[in-house]
């Protein structure tokens, strides 16, 4: 489907080209047409500064440019606008028409769960890799943030028309596995501790530290991490083993390509990658003096596999902020392997669990940090997902445990879900009062005719919120700022609660009742679609 911003942009472009054809504007390279949503209602529902940009480029008064653009748009007679105004030094402000908004209610009812589906992805293959914590212990709060962020971003990209796969990369090779083995054997080189280590020690019999580590890593993935991931509501398309990448030759193939391009050299008994030559701050070790391959060597094989075998057009890796120093090295490797520009790395800042206004660090099982399992015992999954999504990736996140557990409208996820439950209550009320004719007829031609009487200010405000959903999907698919979703859900729920408080859905006026029921059901659709993208339930009762 085409978003409203795309429709407005298309109209503006047509108007400019028509003015150029008539000689009212010189023929010049058309600058990007940016359509924004003004914060102030008096500035319209949408606005553009294109007249200012053209005026500056061709030495014309922006007001005159804006007037010629508006005149051509009006000549096209679109039903989209109630009015178009010029403001300030030459901004063009667009006010949507009631007729257009009412028609969108019918469109939502028609599209249902497909409403908001876009084609901007054009079926391109994208992989989102997230969490990918070392298989040396339970998942922690930082892993939870990466898990929920990655899962939701992948959902949004899928909605936007990309072909998306979700992946977990298992670092089951190298010194962390050896350290895990020593920990399980409880010898002098033990690194990890906790109840889970005690349990593994009783099950693993080998005396070989590395083999013990490999066996323990497999158990941790299967018996701890995979179960936690399932509790988080995440389903991966692929779990990729670093050891397997080495065994199947992908890391060797990647290093061979780098060697062929004269990007490897030996120094001090180690093999180095000439990362500095490709813009990195320093060269990077890929094979250590003792013969062990480094993380970067494994990552080289991993990404060669992703781009050469899996044929992804783009890969998005979601890492914790503590991996900042590894970004430029991996980007250099990907460029050297011939896939420059195909990898994006998103760094997520740290998480602090807050209880009673203070940081909460206690862990029942480990004594050092809070695991995801512990968090989900203290707060339900819906609240956890919602709260972890409310901040941009580059912002530190404080998870308010008390608010997450609050069963009232103070809790934003409760407030949003209550909107959906309230709609379900309206539908039950209709059935209980034997007014099923409203449910049967809300899709009829008469109902769509009746939509024309939806003109109360709270009805208009609610319709304007509903039609923002495709834009939210598009913008998030482009810049990965998933915090738009929980904020949009709050805004939509607020508009619905306002509408519910000011407009009787069921009244003696059957035409008005049918129209308002259609609006309520459209709201239910969009609210559920939004919650589905976030992996949050849409309850029928609360």
pLDDT, tens digit, 9 for 90 and up, residues 49-68: 999 999 888 888 999 999 99
Which alpha helices (H) appear in 368-509, and where do they start and end?
Answer: 372-378, 381-388, 401-405, 412-432, 436-441, 445-450, 457-466, 469-479, 484-502
Biggest distance spanned by C-alpha atoms of the chain: 88
Is pLDDT of 435 > 70?
Answer: no
Average of per-residue pLDDT across 476-504: 97
Structure tokens at 479: 């810049």
* DSSP per-residue codes, 313-353: SEEEEEEEGGGGGGHHHHHHHHHHTT-TT-EEEEEE--EEE
Q: Which residues belong to CATH 3.30.1360.70 in the chain?
A: 4-96
**How high is the pLDDT of residue 437?**
54
pLDDT, tens digit, 9 for 90 and up, residues 229-266: 999 999 999 999 999 999 999 999 999 999 999 999 99
Q: Domain 130-247+349-405: which topology?
A: Rossmann fold (3.40.50)
Structure tokens at 415: 């407030």
Q: Which H or E run includes 228? A: helix 226-231
Reading phi first (left if > 0) and then psi (alpha if -120 to 50, else beta), residue 360 is in beta
pLDDT grade, residue 432 (50/70/90)?
Answer: low
Q: Which residues belong to CATH 3.40.50.620 in the chain?
A: 130-247+349-405
Q: Helix, strand or coil for residue 286?
A: strand
pLDDT, tens digit, 9 for 90 and up, residues 82-141: 999 999 999 999 999 999 999 999 999 999 999 999 999 999 999 999 999 999 999 999
pLDDT, tens digit, 9 for 90 and up, residues 135-165: 999 999 999 999 999 999 999 999 999 999 9
- Name the architecture of domain 4-96: 2-Layer Sandwich (3.30)
Q: Which residues belong to CATH 1.10.730.10 in the chain?
A: 409-534
Pairing of strands 81-87, 35-36: unpaired
Structure tokens at 45: 């529902």
The domain 409-534 is classified under which CATH number: 3.40.640.10, 1.10.730.10, 1.10.3230.20, 3.90.320.10? 1.10.730.10
Reference 111, options 422, 465, 444, 470; nearest CA is 470
- Taking CA atoms, 219 is separated from 135, 148, 166, 364, 370, in Å, by 9, 23, 22, 21, 21
Structure tokens at 414: 């409760």
């Amino acid at each position: 489907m085409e978003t409203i911003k795309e429709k407005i942009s298309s109209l503006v472009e047509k108007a400019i080209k028509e003015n150029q054809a008539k000689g009212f504007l010189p023929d010049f390279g058309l600058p990007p047409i940016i359509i924004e949503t003004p914060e102030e209602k008096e500035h319209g529902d949408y606005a553009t500064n294109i007249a200012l940009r053209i005026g500056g480029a061709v030495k014309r008064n922006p007001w005159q440019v804006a007037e010629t653009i508006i005149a051509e748009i009006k000549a096209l007679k679109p039903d989209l606008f109630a009015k178009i105004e010029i403001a300030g030094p030459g901004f063009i402000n667009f006010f949507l028409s009631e007729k257009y908004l009412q028609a969108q209610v019918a469109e939502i009812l028609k599209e249902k769960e497909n409403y908001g589906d876009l084609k901007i992805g054009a079926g391109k293959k994208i992989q989102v890799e997230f969490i990918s914590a070392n298989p040396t212990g339970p998942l922690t709060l930082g892993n939870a943030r990466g898990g929920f962020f990655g899962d939701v971003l992948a959902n949004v990209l899928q909605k936007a028309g990309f072909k998306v796969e979700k992946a977990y990369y298992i670092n089951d090779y190298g010194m962390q596995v050896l350290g895990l083995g020593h920990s399980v054997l409880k010898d002098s080189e033990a690194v990890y501790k906790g109840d889970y280590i005690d349990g593994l020690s009783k099950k693993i019999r080998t005396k070989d530290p590395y083999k013990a580590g490999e066996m323990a890593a497999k158990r941790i993935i299967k018996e701890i991490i995979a179960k936690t991931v399932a509790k988080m509501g995440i389903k991966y398309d692929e779990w990729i083993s670093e050891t397997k990448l080495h065994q199947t030759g992908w890391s060797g193939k990647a290093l061979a390509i780098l060697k062929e391009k004269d990007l490897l050299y030996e120094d001090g008994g180690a093999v180095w990658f000439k990362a500095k030559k490709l813009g990195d701050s320093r060269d990077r070790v890929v094979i250590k003096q003792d013969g062990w391959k480094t993380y970067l060597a494994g990552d080289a094989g991993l990404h060669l596999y992703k781009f050469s075998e899996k044929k992804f057009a783009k890969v998005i890796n979601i890492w914790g902020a503590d991996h900042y120093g590894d970004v430029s090295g991996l980007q250099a490797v990907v460029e050297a392997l011939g896939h420059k520009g195909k990898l994006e790395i998103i760094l997520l800042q740290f998480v602090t669990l807050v209880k009673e206004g203070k940081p909460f660090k206690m862990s029942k099982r480990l004594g050092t940090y809070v695991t995801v399992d512990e968090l989900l015992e203290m707060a339900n999954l819906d609240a956890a997902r919602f709260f972890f999504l409310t901040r941009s990736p580059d912002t530190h996140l404080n998870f308010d445990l008390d608010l997450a557990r609050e069963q009232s409208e103070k809790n934003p996820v409760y407030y949003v879900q209550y909107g959906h439950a309230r709609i379900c209550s309206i539908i039950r009320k209709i059935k209980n009062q034997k007014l099923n004719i409203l449910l049967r007829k809300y899709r009829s031609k008469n109902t769509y005719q009746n939509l024309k009487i939806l003109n109360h200010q709270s009805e208009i405000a609610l319709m304007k919120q509903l039609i923002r959903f495709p834009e939210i999907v598009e913008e998030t698919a482009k810049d990965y700022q998933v915090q738009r979703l929980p904020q949009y859900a709050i805004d939509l729920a607020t508009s619905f609660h306002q509408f519910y408080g000011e407009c009787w859905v069921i009244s003696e006026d059957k035409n008005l009742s049918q129209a308002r029921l259609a609006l309520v059901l459209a709201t239910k659709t969009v609210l559920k679609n939004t919650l589905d993208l976030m992996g949050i339930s849409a309850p029928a009762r609360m």
